[in-house]
Amino acid sequence: MSGVAGLDRDRIRELFDLRENAGVFSGGSYTGDPHPRWHELRESGPIQPGIVHELTGFEEFAAFHGLPEPDRPHFSAFSFAACDAAYRNEDVFRSAPEPVDAAGIGVMNSMLAMNGMRHRQYRALVQPSFVPAKAKWWIANWIQETVDTLIDGFVDAGQAELNVDFCASIPVLTITGSFGIPIDQALDVRAAVQDPGRVVEILTPIVAARREHPGDDLISVLVEAEIKDQDGQTHRLSDPEIYSFAILLLAAGSGTTWKQMGITLAALLTQPQVLDAVREDPALLKAAIEESVRWEPTDPMFSRWVVDDIDFFGTHIPKGSMLHLCLGAANRDPERWDRPDEYDVYRAVKPTLGFGGGPHVCLGSHVARAEMATGIGALLDRLCNLRLDPDAEPPRPTGFYERGVMEIPVVWDI
């Protein structure tokens, strides 16, 4: 991945610096801790009528996945068991109200909004590139060089703001690199993630080139993938189908992992004894990441369209409703975890909903884990006595439907 050293760091700050643009988060003006209220709501019953932000007492919010949908009844799930059951029952709780047009371009025409067999067919096309065994492929081709070059840029300074100067760049450069997008265009793609037409302009010559000469990258995987229609005919993905895949992966890959990496770093740095334990025993880093995903998932809510009447955990939910799954509350359910509000890297590992669940569990979760482990591990290896800047405010999670930390000011010995 040549060119990382020349990455425009001022542009990175422009795109990712949440200190001046809290609106990047959905509900970004929310600065409180929602968990005490979510505990109260769960204790009142696993399913509550209403929408998560309104039930929490945050009224400034405007729109998110499955919202506002003002003509539909709304319900919210707060227990682990209820959220997990809803994820697994896609016959009733669906990711989109109607079948999507795979020939359309955009996230909501991608497999994110597909259900049933169609979703499984499309997901199976790229799943082999995202399994745990493929982590080394991602690390060797894109992640490690990005991480090392970013640290090279500030290692001699003795101080940095890691959320923007480090975490933000890693996922976007990983996913654009896997597409074969040059470094000098990577940030243009990130800036255009809400403008599918611009992303397509950048991807069009790359897709055409891979159709002629496939390589060892993700676009090549997509152009060579075959899918079987309902009539049994096999065909390659069309260009629009590839663009929708790519836009989905760009939106997901560059929008969440960097915030989760920041949350993990903040959790470790604010507990120096835990940071020391991870530094002394690198095997603990995996547990630290998994605990971060449980304790403070960056996406604490997803929504499902209810396509049939159902009596669900003691509540009747009529057809046509929306069910909002509060994963942030589910991941701190005391019925599943002791001391759920504590960040504890030593707790026994159980599956969480931080990466979703059911058929739509996050496709890129293992790549995200690889990015976080490689990035945080390199920081601990290369920055001697890494610690929070004592003269700055300590980091803390903020935002509502997208949680993250604004900044992580650190110093180290040089």
Identify the domain containing residue 389 by its residue range.
4-413
What is d(CA 100, CA 118) in angstroms, rounded to the nearest whole number? 10
Those residues with Cβ within 8 angstroms of residue 264's Cβ, 6 or more apart along the chain or in another chain: 288, 289, 292, 372, 376
Residues 368/286, Cβ–Cβ less than 8 Å: no
Q: How far is CA 269 from CA 1, 184, 391, 400, 411, in A?
A: 30, 33, 14, 22, 11
Confidence of residue 24 (pLDDT cuts 50, 70, 90): very low
The two structure tokens encoding residue 373: 């482990």
Encode pLDDT of 214-260 as tens digits.
Answer: 999 999 988 888 777 667 777 788 888 888 888 888 877 777 898 99
Residues 372/257, Cβ–Cβ less than 8 Å: yes
Confidence of residue 3 (pLDDT cuts 50, 70, 90): low
**CATH label of the domain that carries residue 307:** 1.10.630.10
Please tell me the total count of domains within the chain: 1
Q: Cα-flanking dihedrals φ and ψ of residue 68, to 5°? A: -85, -30
The distance in angstroms from the start CA to the end CA of the chain is 28
pTM (2 d.p.) = 0.90
What is d(CA 63, CA 60) in angstroms, rounded to the nearest whole number? 10
Amino acid identity for residue 293 in this structure: V
Looking up tokens 């690889």 gives 370
What per-residue confidence (pLDDT) applies to 102?
57
Q: How far is CA 90 from CA 81, 96, 106, in A?
A: 15, 10, 22
Distance from the Cα of residue 303 to its chain's centroid: 15
Amino acid identity for residue 390 in this structure: P
| CA atoms in the 13 A half-sphere facing the CB of 150 | 27
For the chain, the residue count is: 414
Q: Which uninterrupted H or E stretch holds 199? A: helix 196-212
Which letter does DSSP use for residue 112 in this model? Answer: G
What per-residue confidence (pLDDT) applies to 38?
98
Encode pLDDT of 376-399 as tens digits.
Answer: 999 999 999 999 999 999 999 988
Residues 299/402, Cβ–Cβ less than 8 Å: yes
Residues 347/109, Cβ–Cβ less than 8 Å: no
Q: Cα-flanking dihedrals φ and ψ of residue 381, to 5°? A: -75, -40
Encode pLDDT of 253-309 as tens digits.
Answer: 777 898 999 999 999 999 999 999 999 999 999 999 999 999 999 999 999 999 999
Most confident of 24-38, 123-137, 144-158, 229-243: 144-158
* 8 has pLDDT over 80: no
Q: Long-range contacts made by residues 197-205, C-beta under 8 angstroms, separation at least 24?
A: 199/243, 199/246, 199/247, 199/250, 200/105, 200/243, 203/179, 203/242, 203/243, 203/246, 204/239
Confidence of residue 25 (pLDDT cuts 50, 70, 90): very low
Those residues with Cβ within 8 angstroms of residue 201's Cβ, 6 or more apart along the chain or in another chain: none
